[in-house]
Amino acid sequence: MQQIKKSSLNNSLIIVISSLLTSYFFIQVYPIEQRAVDAGLVLAGFVYYPDQTSPMTEYFIKSWTSIHQIAKFFLNLDWSILNVSKLIIFITTVFYFLGIMLTVNSASR
């Protein structure tokens, strides 16, 4: 029983480390601006739409998502747009990779 717990802990540690390394790789390879940063710029007040009936204003301001709020938070802390984009890529890659790895792990039992 101890051997199974130790093996499971080792597997979990490998999964977490590999997901962090993969996420770091993707933020270095794909330094593109995320759409969430656009919403963060609008929510933080850095970008104003002159036409108040713009559909983008409705989408950015009236649809609350956590990734838009995270972008707004870090933009208010004076992070650059590129750094906020890299952070969002890192977060999404970690969650995607962990989800895939855990799904494969549970399916292969």
pLDDT at res. 1: 46
What CA–CA distance (Å, rounded) separates 1 from 4? 5
Cα separations in angstroms, 87 against 47, 68, 81, 95, 107: 20, 12, 10, 12, 30
47 within domain boundaries = yes
* pLDDT tens digits, 10-37: 777 887 888 888 888 877 887 677 778 8
Length of the chain: 109
1 within domain boundaries = no
57 within domain boundaries = yes
8 within domain boundaries = no
> Higher confidence at residue 97 or residue 8?
97
Q: How many domains does the chain have?
A: 1
pLDDT at res. 5: 58
pLDDT at res. 86: 86
What CA–CA distance (Å, rounded) separates 81 from 74? 9
Tell me the residue range of the domain where 88 lies.
17-107
> Higher confidence at residue 95 or residue 35?
95
92 within domain boundaries = yes
9 within domain boundaries = no
What CA–CA distance (Å, rounded) separates 66 from 63? 10
2 within domain boundaries = no
* pLDDT tens digits, 36-92: 888 888 888 888 877 767 787 777 777 888 888 999 999 999 998 888 988 888 888
62 within domain boundaries = yes
Q: What is the pTM of this model?
A: 0.71
For 101, residues 6+ apart whose C-beta sits below 8 A from its C-beta are 15, 18, 19
